[in-house]
Each structure stands twice: as structure tokens, then as C-alpha cells.
Structure 1
Amino acid sequence: MLKRISVQQLQVGMHLKEFCGSWMDHPFWRNSFVITDPQDIVRIRASAIREVWIDASKGLDVAPDVQAVSQAESDAEVDAELHRVAQAQRQVQAAPMAEELERAKKICAKSKEAVTSMFHEARMGKSVDTEAAQQLVEEISDSITRNPGAFISLARLKTADDYTYMHSVAVCALMVALAKQLGLDAEQTRQAGIAGLLHDLGKALMPMEVLNKPGKLTDEEFAIIKRHPEEGHRMLQGGSNVDPVALDVCLHHHEKVDGSGYPEGLAGEQISLFARMGAVCDVYDAITSNRPYKAGWDPAESLRKMAEWSKGHFDPTIFQAFVKSLGIYPTGSLVRLSSGRLGVVVEQSDRSLLVPKVKVFFSTQSNLRITPVLVDLSAPDCKEKIASREDPDKWKFPDLNALWIG
């Protein structure tokens, strides 16, 4: 029996079914669990959450003299809440880059906590709660709807230490953006996001000394790492209500269209649409991220390299849609303008992939830093254009990311 109670009425032994509020407002990555630690109650009361739903059939009930919402009322409340959430999702509005970056920072931090917990539970042999992961995907999807560049660009800025966890978050975001670009419906977009979030779960069972090795893997070590799709697939099969798309992408995101991938050597149309999407998103985030053994490549340069590989590795139609979802010069790319000034791409333009907004900060003519200024290359009176990509390793600007984050 569902009952809505105040957080002050919570007790150890109650089965917490749902928080009354945003996923971002409570301190846990999942909603449904039995409270076993008194400190969890302290954390809930310290959060912005004021009420919760408990399931009295699966845990302790409130005392008979304590007022709580009845079964009939609870059903009506749940229906009303679902309607409210559905309405809110339909009313997601576009937001400026600077505004969405602030939201995206909070979502990134909460997402990292969620995925870290998910991997920890997988290492402990516990089944994966994919239903709880859906709220994380919804928050990420809403952020991408408001402004695609904000969350995707922030998720790329992971450290080598948190790569495994944030890689899952970043691939989730890239899958959502790609699904939207391909015109997939809301349910398919949600499936793509869940699949991206869970695609590398098998790495939870890989030896840490191999996973985080700061150098090239031996053939034996690579053979171990190549088992992670099958290990992840097996773990997901042990859960309940696991989306078949997530199972498919987990197992097949390392397949290549020319048949040279693993674990099954599938080729062309033998690989599902979602797995082909996962292959592109997985590689892009991997090569643009800092790893234990190398620094990440510039976003624009990464797309150029991927284009060279696309004939045998990626589905060309999906890769083209992927580029459109990010821009030819993704946020964070270092570029040279026709004036000789250098700048970092801070936002895409609705008009064309070739004319993003660029924050100019360096003059190659004087070889000096200049006061940063925002140049909208899509503006009718703008005479500048992008002359070339630039290699950040050559220039070694220590604050390149800070320039576009703001």
C-alpha cells in the first residue's frame, strides 16, 4: 500500500518508493529502496525533499495514529504527479548556453555519483536498477533539449581518474543528441540514452590495474578488456525489466560495419541502428577525453579523424547525423579566424554548422593575448570566417576550457 508521508515520519525499515520532488533534489541515485541506515534519513531531511512515498506492503508502516494519504488518494496523487511530469517535459524550453551550463554542472555532478554507485553495486554482484537510471536520462535529455552544447561539452571534460564513470554519462548524452538528430521518437530517444548509460557496465568487472593502466595494453590485457561487452550483457540480463536496446548496445557497441569488430564480428545491417549509434558515440567520447595514457584530442580534430575511419568503422549516415548534432566545430574547439586571431568555439549557430559563436582571445600577428571578445560568425555584418582548426597541444593555452565554460 502506497502512502505519502513527511520526511520527519521516516523510520529505518520503511520501503521508500518515491521522492516527492525532482531527482536533482534528493541525495540518492535511485528512488526505490528499504531504509537500513539512520544516516540516510538524516541526508533526506537535510535535502530539499519534504515528502516521500512509502510502500507499507514492503516495509514498516506509519503508526496508526499518524495521518497519511490513503490508498485511493495515493492512486489519484500518483496519476496527478505523472501528468505534471509529462506536462513539464513537454514544456522544456530552449536556454542560452551560459544559463544551461550552470544547470548542466549540477546534473553532471549528480550523474557521476549515480554511475559510480551503479558500478560499485555491479562489482558487488548486485543486479542493476535500470528503472532508477531512467530519471538520470530524463534530466540529461531535458538539458540537451534546452541547449545541446552545454551538457555534452561539460561531460567531455573528465579527468583520467573518473573517466570510466563519466564516459558512461557522456555517451548517454551523445546518444540522446544523436537520436534527436535522427528524428527518433521520444521512447526511442529514451532507449538510446539508457543504452548509452549502461553500455560499458561490463568494465565494472575488469581488473582495475588493466582498466587504468597508464600505457599500452599487452595482447593478454587487451583480450581481458575485450570481454567487457559480454560481461556487461550478462550482468544486465540478471536484472529485471531491462530494455532490449540496452542489452543490444552493451553487447555490440564495439562492432564495426566492415565486420572487423568484436565480440561477434557483425557487419553492416547485422548491427542494429542503436548499436551503430553507440559505436560512434563511444569512440568520440573516448578520443576527446583525457585517459590514463594520453590527453584527449581537440573535438574538431577528433571528428576529422573519425571521418577518415568512417568507411570501415562507422555507418556513414549515422556519422553524418552525429556531426550535425555536435557541429563541424564542436564547442571547445580551438580555431583560427580569417583575421589571424585564435578563438574557442562556445556555441553553435542555428544557421549553419560553419558559423558558430567564437570567443576570440589571441592575436597570431602580435603573438599576444587580447581581451576576450565574443564573435558571432553567423551575424549578417560579420566579415570573419573560420580559416582552420588549431592544435591545442601546439599552443598549450592553460585556460582553454575555462574560456568557453565562462
Structure 2
Amino acid sequence: MLKRIAVSELCLGMYIHEFCGSWMDHPFWKGNFLLKTERDLERIRESDVREVWIDAGKGLDVAPGQVSASVAEVSAEAEARLLAAESKTAPARVSLEEEIARAQKLCARSKAAIVEMFSDARMGQAVTLDHVADMVNEISDSVLRHPNAMISLARLKTSDEYTYMHSVAVCALMIALARQLGMSGEQVHEAGMAGLLHDIGKMAIPDVILNKPGKLTDNEFSTMRQHPEAGGRMLLESRQISALALDVCLHHHEKFDGTGYPHRLAGEQISLFARMGAVCDVYDAITSDRPYKKGWDPAESIRKMAEWKGHFDERVFQAFVKSVGIYPVGALVRLESGRLGVVMEQHERSLLTPRVKVFFSARSKVPITQEVVDLAKLVGRDKIVGRECAEDWGFKNIEALWSGLEARNGSYHS
């Protein structure tokens, strides 16, 4: 029998079935466990969680005579119906600056959860998906509040955390792309789940290959190419994943022209979700710093991907560009006025007129007063005339200009 009790009534020996509230409010990745240690009890009491569901059939019950009026009893079936019936209001749109602060915390929490889940997989344990659905919901809500904050922040991962944050980034990209394609709420959620789990098979790849700071040998690359099928086996063993998410895990490296792997599928043989996964996976991979190379500029990455004929489904790729922009957030661009700036936000109806924070004069080669300009309001007076490379100008940490986060290595200009 499940009972909802106050945290103050928890004691050692109780079996926690579920925490009430957001998965971000408590410090545990797994949602079902027997409360055995004082340390875990203390961590729960110090968290933002106020109530929990306990399973009296798997652990201690609340002592007779000590049950407070707030305790609720339900069967597992009744609880499931209750949770399913809860209505969820779509979050209101907020500014990039406001959502960056939330997304930063969400990135950190998501990374910790993915590290634990992937570590279990590496040790051969069955993949448990206790809070994956909650994580996807939180990321989806962030994308709804502001479509660029989570996606852009996740791109700033270091090479050391790439394997884990890549999964978070692809989850957010898949959610944004699914919405752009007009999918239902359930399909959007499935897309996010697929993105989060698409690379779990890399936990079967030796670290010496996964983190090699140089080009892989033919044998090493052959080993690396085994990760989709390894991931598929892991997800099948978990018995908790949908066929759609499993398909993305297996086939996100297939190419539309049939030259991909592991099964050399072509065209419509590749599911729509796997075609979406291919685009999102590649975009985040090439814009991220890796052990063996520095990430490309977002706008340059979009340009190069557009040139890879046969790699992607054109319709899916075009929808992807609409979701992130021709000039994605963080792209360094030159304006006709001679000013350089970083893209801050996309225009709802025009891919060519984003909001840009200008900070440097390309003509006089000196910094200028930082100012956010809305190119949609400057049509005929100023526009983007090209992409620029930060390294060519000696700029460092220009991500601080759009994210508001403190630069990691000083100012943006060397």
C-alpha cells in the first residue's frame, strides 16, 4: 500500500516509492529505494522535498497513533490514474536572460543524473529510467520558456564532459525539432527521451578510445561504430524504453543516402525519429569542444551541414535550421555597418534578422559600447553580411557576451 507522508515522518527502514515534486528538488537519481542510512535521511530533510510516497508493503509503515492528518493512502493503480489525470499548463515565455539562470541549474542537475545512469550501464547494471521522464519534461519546459537557452548552454560543455552533456543537448534539440515539425505533445516527449538515451551505447566503448585526443585508427573506429547496437541491447534489457527511442539509439548514424551504419539504411527505411536524431547528434557534435578538436562556430556548422548532400533528410534539416536559426545563438557575425556581434535571439518570422549584441568595430579594430540591436527593426539600414571566426579576431570567451555567465579565462578579447 502506498502512503503519502510528510518528510518529518520518514524513518529508517521505510521504502521510498516516489518523491513529491520535481526531480530537481531532491539529491537522488533513483526514485525507488529502501531508506537505510542516516546520511540519506538527512539529505532528504535538507532538500526542498516536503512529502514522499512510501510503500508499506516493501518497508516499515507509519507507526500507529503517529499518523498525521496529511497522510494519504492509495493503491498503486489509483495513484497512477491520479497522476495521469493531472493537467499541466504550458510554461509562459520568458527572456533569454531569465531562462539562462534556470537552464544553468538544469544542465548541472541533468549532467549529474546522466553520469550516474551511464556509470551504472558501464558497470553492466540494467539501465534504470526512474527520473528520465521527469528530466525530459523539465528540459521541454525550458525549451518552451525560451527555445535557445538550454540548447545554447548545453553546447558550452568542456571536452571532458562531452559524453554526458551531449545527451542533454541532443534531448533539447530533438524537443525543439519535434515542435518545429508540428508533432503532438506525446511525440515531442518521445523525441526528448530518444535524444537523452541515443548514445548510451558509448558506455560499452573503452575509455581509451572514447576519450582519445587524436584520430582513431581503423580498428578503433570499428570499435566505436559498435556503440549504436550496444546501446540497443542495453535499452532492450531495461524493458522500460519505447520502440521509437530504441530505434533512434540504433540508427542515429544512418545517412539518407545509405552510406551510414550500422545497417546502411537509406531514405524512408530510416524512421523519421532516427532522421531527426542524425541531424541533432551531428550539430551538437561539431559545435562542441572534443578531446581531439575545438568546436565549430554554430553558424559555420549549419553552413557545412547544408553542404553534406546525402547525409540528412532535406525536409528534416530545413526544419532543424528553422528551429535553431541560420545564425544560431552565440554565432559571431559581421554587420553591414562594420560592427561585429554575437547572436542573442532568433526572430519569430525571419531567419535573417535576429537580435545581435554588437561589441567590436571591424573597421577600426577596437571594442565599442555593447548594445543589443534588433535587425528586424533595422531592415534597409543594417543587416548581417557574413559569419566570422572568433579565433581569427583573437576573441576569447565570447559566449559570456550572450549567456551572461562569467568568462572562464578573462575577457573576450586577447
TM range (shorter): over 0.9
Aligned residue pairs, count: 402
Output one character per residue of 1:356-387: Cα deviation in whole Å (capped at 9) or x when no partner.
Answer: 00000000111101121101111267721001
What is aligned with 1:280?
A: 279
**What corresponds to 1:100 in structure 2?**
99
- Equivalent in the alignment of 1:366: 364
In the TM superposition, 1:124-143 aligns within 5 A as: 124-143=123-142
Measure the CA separation in 2 of the matches of 1:72 and 1:151.
Answer: 37
Contact 1:376 1:382 in 2 (8 A): no
Percent identical residues: 60
* 1:383 and 2:381 are equivalent in the alignment: yes
**3-state SS in 2 of match to 1:403:** helix
Residue of structure 2 equivalent to 1:188: 187
Taking a change above 3 Å as real, the CA distance of residues 380 and 301 of structure 1, as seen in their structure-2 partners, is closer
The residue number in structure 1 matching 2:220 is 221
- Counterpart of 2:73, as a letter, is Q
Name the structure 2 match of 1:24. Answer: 24
The structure-2 alpha-carbon separation of the partners of 1:114 and 1:123, relative to structure 1 and needing over 3 Å to count, comes to same
Q: TM-score, normalised by structure 1?
A: 0.95
Q: Is the 8 A contact 2:22 2:134 kept in 1?
A: no
The equivalent of 1:48 in structure 2 is 48
Describe the superposition over 1:32-67 as per-residue Cα deviations: whole angstroms up to 9, x where unpaired.
Answer: 233344322211111111111111122222222321
Structure 2: state its 5+ residue gaps: 405-414
Q: What one-letter code is carried by the residue in structure 2 that aligns with 1:339?
A: S
Q: Secondary structure at the match of 2:292?
A: coil
Change beyond 3 A, Cα 1:275–1:77: closer
CA distance in 2, matches of 1:77, 1:42: 27
Deviation at 1:83, TM superposition (A): 4.5
Following TM superposition, by how much is the alpha carbon of 1:129 offset from its aligned partner in structure 2, in angstroms? 2.0
Structure 1 residue 8 displacement after superposition: 2.4
In 1, the alpha carbon distance for the partners of 2:153 and 2:295 equals 14
**Consecutive unaligned residues in structure 1, runs of 5 or more:** none
Q: CA RMSD in A?
A: 1.8
Give the aligned residue type for 1:265.
R
What pairs with 1:193-208 in structure 2 (closer than 5 Å)?
A: 193-208=192-207
Report the 3-state secondary structure (helix = DSSP H, G, I; strand = E; otherwise coil) of the residue aligned with 1:360: strand
1:153-206 CA distance string (max 9 Å, x none): 000000000000000000000000000000010111111100000000011121
**What is the identity, as a one-letter code, of the residue corresponding to 2:248?**
V
Normalization by structure 2: what TM-score? 0.93
Residue 151 of structure 1 is matched in structure 2 by 150
Give the equivalent residue in structure 1 for 2:412: none
Partner deviation per Cα, 1:110-132 (whole Å, 9 max, x = no partner): 11011001101111222222352
Which residue of the partner structure matches residue 356 of structure 1?
354
* Equivalent position amino acid for 2:121 in 1: A
Which residue of structure 2 lines up, in the alignment, with residue 9 of structure 1? 9
CA contact (8 A) 1:30 1:133 kept: no
> In 1, are the aligned partners of 2:23 and 2:131 still within 8 Å (CA)?
no
Stretches (4+) displaced over 6 A: 73-78
Q: Which amino acid aligns with 1:379?
A: K
Taking a change above 3 Å as real, the CA distance of residues 91 and 192 of structure 1, as seen in their structure-2 partners, is: closer
Asked if residue 392 in structure 1 is aligned to residue 390 in structure 2, the reply is yes
